Every structure is written in structure tokens, then in C-alpha cells.
Chains A and B, each alone.
Chain A
Amino acid sequence: MTEPLLSVRALRCRFAERTVLDGIQFDLAAGQRLSIAGRSGRGKSTLLRLIAGLQDAAAGEIQIAGQIAMQAGKQLLAPWDRHLQLVFQDLGLWPTRTVQQHLRDALRAQGVRGARAKQRATEVLQALDLSALAARRPGRLSGGEARRVALARALACQPKLLLLDEPFASLDAESRDDGFRFLESVLELSQAAVILVTHDPEEAARLGGMHMQLDAEGHLV
């Protein structure tokens, strides 16, 4: 078997006296899909933040693309060196930047600058049918449009692993359908592996691939 893209071992996370995640263990191959369902407050977002390197754990190890990213709960690899992108539940868009600038900033972080960055940003916007939104700032986008922009920004970084934190929460059924179709086109373009966490089992099932559940004790089953 080839080396997994992501390997999580014995991951444990505590907030004050409460254990949120305990003994989390799984592997994910390149291009594979994993959905994790669980009720609110079970640590789904925390799991993604640990993988992204945004917070420390109490114990455990994470390997990404063969590199140890976290060991004994300590982050060893910076988030920007992990070849992944996290789409936050509230999207984390930059309020003063236009949609086009979001993509150009993301590309600049990858070392793509100037005219090349502009061209690549335009290509991504066209490929995802977002050109009409290019000059708008997040405050002028609808909920569905803002979600697409967050996904497009993540795609512009060409990640190997895409982490999605309840990407379609608070959308109506029709917008959620649109969102899923958009996500499919993003995944088709990027060929990235994906982990989606959600409280909605239907949404989890719709992604396809592996499916897991976070229980009340913080175990992944």
C-alpha cells in the first residue's frame, strides 16, 4: 500500500477538564474523501484545527505527506508547510479585499506574483464561474457566494488536502445543492483529498468516500 497523505495517531485534545477528542486514529490517501459527522460541540472543528496546525493537542501524532506535523501534541510543521487548506465554518474571508484580491493574495503566499498571479486568479474565477463577483468584497456577497469564494481561495493554493468545516451550514436546501455541485467542480479541478465535518448525516453521506462519526466521548467510530 502507498504511504497515506494524512496519518492521525492517538490524537487527544482537552479543554480545561473536558476531553473533547480521544484516541483519534485514521489514515487518508491522496484524493480520498472522508466525511465526519457529529453533533454540535463534539470537537469536529477542533479536529480540523489540529490537522491544520492551528492549535496544540494533549497527545498524539499527525503525519502529512510523510512529514511529522505534530508529535506528542506539539506542532512541528507550520500550517503553511502542510499542503492543506481549511475552509472555516464562518469562512474567514478578508473584509477589505475583493474576491479577485483574495485569490491573488492566496497565490502570492504560494510564491506566484505579479501578472502570473493575476492571470491564474482570473483562470480560477472563470473555471468556477465566479468572474461576475471578482470586484466584490465579502460584505457584498450572499451566503452562498461567500462560500464559493472561500472554496475558490482554497483551490487557488492547490492544496493536497482540503479541510471543510460545515461548509454549507445555514444554507437553504437549494443553495446547499448548488454548493455541493460547486464543491464537486472544485474537487474535480484540484484532485485534493478532502475531509468534511458536519452535524448533518445527509450532507456527510452526499460527499461519498469514507464516513465516520464522532461520539459523545470524543471517539471516532
Chain B
Amino acid sequence: MLSLRRPGNWQGLAAVLGLALVLGPLGPLLWAVLQGGAFTELGEARVALVFWRSVWMAALSASLSVLVGVPLAILSQRTKIYGAEVVALLTPLTLLLPPLLIAQGWNGLTGWDGLWASVFTLGMCFAPLPALLAARALAQQSATSHESAWMMGGRRMALREMLRVARPAAILGGTLAFLFSVTDFAVPDYMAALGETFGVYPGHVYNHFRDTDYWAGARAAAPLVLLCAAVLYLGLWARDRWAGEQVGQGRPAETMPLAGWQWPATLLAWGLLGCVLLLPLARIVYELGVAGPEAAGTWGSRAGESVQAAVERGREDIGRSLRTGVLAGLIALVLAPFLAHALVRRTGRSARLLTTLVALPLLAPGVGYGMGAIAFANRPGWTEFYQGNLLVVLVFAGRFLPIAVFLLAERFRSVPRSRDEAAAVSGLLYPQRLWQVYLAPQRAAWLLAGGLVLVFAVRELDLAILLPGANQSAAVRYFNALHFARDGFVAAFGLLIAAILFLPVMLHAAWNSLRQRND
């Protein structure tokens, strides 16, 4: 008989529901792998060239992300630069923006386009991944392991030890940056449209949509999904290989004094943050009121008109995107805690395998995932479902559920196992135990997990282009507007989306700061 006290039953139910969400879009991709037809196209020289181009471009972008992200983490987390807290707060915001927005900003600033501009832009877009993970690892370094290095060899040795502590996190962050870069369609598509034409593999997948051959599109996406799964597993293995078990009393290490290096270090940190976020955003702000040959009025008046136009013309699309995001976020709020708990109680190979499995929906290129959803849902008698919002909500919830699961798993790891076991021994039902031990003390993180699913659902473009129900969304309108013109409306609409996407994270930061002040 099923027991309400057994975690396995609840986790199993959550896994079945999660699987139901992702099986529709992922099913055709997995089916293609099982049928053995997934790699047929890669035999063609042209397709193979595009595939390997995507791989090395993503490898370069990921390396750039690590080169920018790790110094940002060290400078903001462990040194006394001016404004370290602000740098730490702003760094992750880039991840919330559609990469196309950063591409727009950098292209406007420098005029760069083509393949190398795509590599650079994606490197900047995903630099916060290694930065965030490395900052977290550095925050957990024990005070005495830092001090023993400092005492023996000063700043240089302490820095070397910090790099070693950050290395496993940087490896995982670089891996994630690779995965997001190799599956991105919108940025290479935009950069190729502006300058020298080049193809990437997600573009090859998308071209099957133009041919309305959705099953072929799903088949074409399968090699990329397999590559991503293999790379993620290797990344997790490499992280575990280099990770050391923290020893010490848990007193966190203090920030490192910089003496005469304070100003240069501050400039470096703000310069890196500028590249990752501030400069492209500033450029888009400038574009709000940029003057065309026939323009009248001041920059301020033109910017005001642009914002007004963006609000008026984009209100409905933004409303639709938000509704979809909220519903997807609510689904994630329910399912993610069970899956996160299942994840944190595993170690070694089984943890790596489960992590890779949970991450699968996120590893599929957006266009491939969309093609899978179309292949699954576009069938006679399903027209209303296929064209409706319900499919979009379910597809987005499934795709971004891993974000909520991984965030919660990260927080759950800090809960002592004994607290969980004490609750189990006291005879609490599993959902009560999950609530009392894990969720209630970390309500803000739980809400943030749902909020992030909302944010990613609103910012998702590659997938939204394909699904009829998502065509009238904020991301697609921005994509179309940007490809059509480069006026104040595009800038204002992009900034409006950015403001909405920043909101959940800013609210979370404010909540945390308020709680710390009250404590």
C-alpha cells in the first residue's frame, strides 16, 4: 500500500508529473535517438560543419565567460573593492535578460557583427554563471584555510588558494555557459543577419520549421541534446574530481585587503560588470531617444515618446507573457521541492545521472524543444490545444522546471541531514516534513524558484517563435521589432521587458536584506 510518509512515493509522483510535462516536447527527440535516425544528417558535410562550428563557438564563449566571471566573483565576494555588494547584486541580472538584448546593446556600441560578435556576446551573456557559482564557493571557504595561505605567502598565495576553491564551481559554470551558448539560436541569427552570414546548428534545426517538417526538426535537435547531456555529465564529473571537502569550523573567510590595489581592482570589477551588463544597457537607454534624420524634439522628449509607445503597443503581449510565466511558475512551485529533495539525498554517480536527467529539458535547444512540442501536439482534433495557451504553459513549465529544482537543491544542501531525520522519526507526513524542515525556513528561495521560472518563461524566445500560442508574446514582439527596425520603440520595449524580468530578483534581494536587518 502507498504510504504518505514514504518520500519515494511523493518524489515518484512529482517525477511522473514532471515527466508528463516534458515527454511531449522531448519525446520526439528521444524517439529519434532510439530509432537511430538522429545522426543521419550529421553525415552531410555541410551539416557537420555547422555542428562543429557551433561546438567551437560555444567553447570559446564559455571560456570567455569563465575568464570574465571568475575575477568578478573574486573581486566582488572576497575583496574590499568599492561597491562590492552592488557588483554582486547586479552581476546575475544579465542572466535574466534575453541574450538578444545584450547583442543589441553591444552591436549598437561597437558596430560588431558576424560570427566573432556572436561569440563575444554569448560570452558576456553567460559570464554570470561561473561568476555566481564561483562566488558561492568562495563564500564557503573556511577562514583558516584562507588565513593559512595568507600567512605563508601573502596576497599571491591567498589568491591562488581562492582560485583553487573556485575551480570546481568555475568548471560547472563554464559547462553551463557552453550548454546555453551551443543551443542559442537568436543571437547568432541576429549577428548573421547584420553582417557576415554564418550558420549554427540551432539555426539548422530551425530551418526544418520553415520547411514545416517538424519531425525532421526534432530529429535534427537530438544530437545537440545528446552532446549537451554528455558535456553536462562530464562537467559534473570534473567538478566532483576537483572539489575538496570543506574542512574547518564554518567561520567564513574575510575579504582580502588590497592596499594600493584597491582602485585598480575596483575599476576592473566595474569594467567587467560594464561589459556584462551596464554598457549594453546604457547603449539601449541611449537608443531610446536617438535621432533619425527627420527627428524632432530633444533626446528626453523622444525617449518619453518611445516609452509611451512601448507601453501602449506592448501592453497586451507583456500581459500574455506574464500570465503564461505565472502559471508555469506555479507548477514549478509545486513540483520542484520534491525533485530537489530527491536530488540532494544522492551523491556520486547517481547524483550526476539524476542531475543530467532533470536538466534534459533545459539542455535541448529551444528551437528543438519547440519542434518536439509541435511534432507532439500538432495533430488532427488537437487544434485548440495546439494553438492555445495551455500548451505554452505546460511546455514552459517543463522546460524551466530544472532551474527551480537546482536552485532549491542548492538551498536544501545547507540543511543538516539530522534535522530531516528527526522530522522523519517524529512521524510527520512527507509533505509536512518537506515544508517544516526545508521550505518554511527558506520561503524566499522557494518563491524565487517560482519567480525564476516566470522570468525564464517571459524571456524565452527560441521556443516562443515556434509555438502558435506563444507567438503573441513580449519576446517574439521584441525579436520581430528588432529585426524590422532599430528605433526608440525597440529600445523602450527591450528595457520594459528587462525591468519586468529584474523585478522578482530585486524583490527577493529586498526581502533578504529586510530580514537580515530585522534579525
A139 x B150 contact (CB < 8 A): no
Q: How far is the CA of A139 from the CA of B240 in the complex (A)?
A: 13
B161 at the interface (CB under 8 A from A): yes
Interface residues of B in 164-179 (CB under 8 A from A): 164-165, 167-168
Q: Which B residues are CB-close (under 8 A) to A88?
A: 144, 147-148
Q: How far is the CA of A157 from the CA of B142 in the complex (A)?
A: 22
Q: Which A residues are CB-close (under 8 A) to B249?
A: 89-90
B244 at the interface (CB under 8 A from A): yes
Among A85, A90, A97, point to the contact of B164 (Cβ < 8 A).
Answer: A97
Contact with B along A131-156 (1 / 0, CB 8 A): 00000011100000010000001000
Q: How far is the CA of A91 from the CA of B150 in the complex (A)?
A: 14
Contact with B along A178-220 (1 / 0, CB 8 A): 0000000000000000000000000000000000000000000
B37 at the interface (CB under 8 A from A): no
A26 at the interface (CB under 8 A from B): no
Q: Which A residues are CB-close (under 8 A) to B86?
A: none
A80 x B161 contact (CB < 8 A): no
Q: How far is the CA of A53 from the CA of B245 in the complex (A)?
A: 28
A93 x B152 contact (CB < 8 A): no
A80 x B151 contact (CB < 8 A): yes
B154 at the interface (CB under 8 A from A): yes
A92 x B245 contact (CB < 8 A): no
B271 at the interface (CB under 8 A from A): no
Interface residues of A in 46-89 (CB under 8 A from B): 52-54, 78-80, 85-86, 88-89
Task: Choose among A86, A88, A110, A157 the residue with the greatest number of B CB atoms under 10 Å from its CB.
Answer: A88
Within the complex, the shortest CB–CB distance from A76 to chain B, in Å, comes to 14
Tell me what chain B mostly uses at the interface: helix, strand, loop, or mixed: helix
Q: Which B residues are CB-close (under 8 A) to A139?
A: 244-245, 247
Among B148, B154, B164, B242, point to the contact of A92 (Cβ < 8 A).
Answer: B148
B244 x A91 contact (CB < 8 A): no
Interface residues of B in 125-180 (CB under 8 A from A): 142-154, 157, 160-161, 164-165, 167-168
Q: How far is the CA of A108 from the CA of B154 in the complex (A)?
A: 12
Q: How far is the CA of A38 from the CA of B147 in the complex (A)?
A: 24
Interface residues of A in 108-139 (CB under 8 A from B): 108-110, 137-139
Within the complex, the shortest CB–CB distance from A100 to chain B, in Å, comes to 14
Within the complex, the shortest CB–CB distance from A47 to chain B, in Å, comes to 15
Within the complex, the shortest CB–CB distance from A44 to chain B, in Å, comes to 15
Identity of the chain B residue whose Cβ is nearest the Cβ of A95 in the assembled complex: B244
B243 at the interface (CB under 8 A from A): yes
B248 at the interface (CB under 8 A from A): yes
B246 at the interface (CB under 8 A from A): yes
Q: Which B residues are CB-close (under 8 A) to A94?
A: 145, 148-149, 161, 164, 244
Q: Which A residues are CB-close (under 8 A) to B145?
A: 92-95
A108 x B153 contact (CB < 8 A): yes
Identity of the chain A residue whose Cβ is nearest the Cβ of B156 in the assembled complex: A109
A106 at the interface (CB under 8 A from B): yes
Q: Which A residues are CB-close (under 8 A) to B161?
A: 94
Q: How far is the CA of A86 from the CA of B203 in the complex (A)?
A: 59
Within the complex, the shortest CB–CB distance from A163 to chain B, in Å, comes to 10
Interface residues of B in 492-511 (CB under 8 A from A): none
Contact with A along B236-259 (1 / 0, CB 8 A): 000000111111110000000000
A96 at the interface (CB under 8 A from B): yes
Within the complex, the shortest CB–CB distance from B121 to chain A, in Å, comes to 33
Q: How far is the CA of A205 from the CA of B146 in the complex (A)?
A: 31
A90 x B247 contact (CB < 8 A): yes
Q: Which A residues are CB-close (under 8 A) to B244?
A: 94-97, 137-139
Q: Which A residues are CB-close (under 8 A) to B148?
A: 86, 88, 92-94, 153
Q: Which A residues are CB-close (under 8 A) to B165?
A: 95-96
Q: How far is the CA of A95 from the CA of B168 in the complex (A)?
A: 12
Q: Which A residues are CB-close (under 8 A) to B248?
A: 90-92
Identity of the chain A residue whose Cβ is nearest the Cβ of B149 in the assembled complex: A94
Among B157, B167, B242, point to the contact of A105 (Cβ < 8 A).
Answer: B157
A79 x B164 contact (CB < 8 A): no
Q: Which B residues are CB-close (under 8 A) to A78?
A: 154
Within the complex, the shortest CB–CB distance from A14 to chain B, in Å, comes to 18
Identity of the chain A residue whose Cβ is nearest the Cβ of B141 in the assembled complex: A95
B151 x A90 contact (CB < 8 A): no
Known: A90-B248, A95-B145. A106 touches B152 (CB 8 A): yes
Task: Choose among B142, B144, B148, B249 the residue with the greatest number of A CB atoms under 10 Å from its CB.
Answer: B148
Contact with A along B212-255 (1 / 0, CB 8 A): 00000000000000000000000000000011111111000000
Q: How far is the CA of A146 from the CA of B246 in the complex (A)?
A: 13
Among A85, A86, A92, A109, point to the contact of B157 (Cβ < 8 A).
Answer: A109
Task: Choose among A90, A95, A137 the residue with the greatest number of B CB atoms under 10 Å from its CB.
Answer: A95
B245 x A91 contact (CB < 8 A): no
B247 x A79 contact (CB < 8 A): no
Within the complex, the shortest CB–CB distance from B160 to chain A, in Å, comes to 8
Identity of the chain B residue whose Cβ is nearest the Cβ of A79 in the assembled complex: B151
29 A-B contact pairs sorted by A residue (CB < 8 Å): A54-B150, A80-B150, A80-B152, A85-B151, A90-B248, A91-B247, A91-B248, A92-B148, A93-B145, A93-B247, A95-B145, A95-B165, A95-B243, A95-B244, A95-B247, A96-B165, A96-B167, A96-B244, A97-B164, A97-B244, A105-B153, A105-B160, A106-B152, A109-B152, A109-B153, A138-B245, A138-B247, A153-B148, A157-B152
Beyond A54-B147, A88-B144, list 13 extra A-B contacts (CB 8 Å): A78-B154, A90-B247, A92-B145, A92-B146, A92-B147, A94-B149, A95-B245, A96-B243, A108-B153, A109-B153, A110-B152, A138-B245, A153-B148
B residues whose Cβ falls under 8 Å from a Cβ of A = 142-154, 157, 160-161, 164-165, 167-168, 242-249
- 9 interchain residue pairs of minimum CB distance: A95-B244, A139-B245, A92-B144, A109-B153, A92-B148, A96-B244, A88-B144, A109-B152, A79-B151
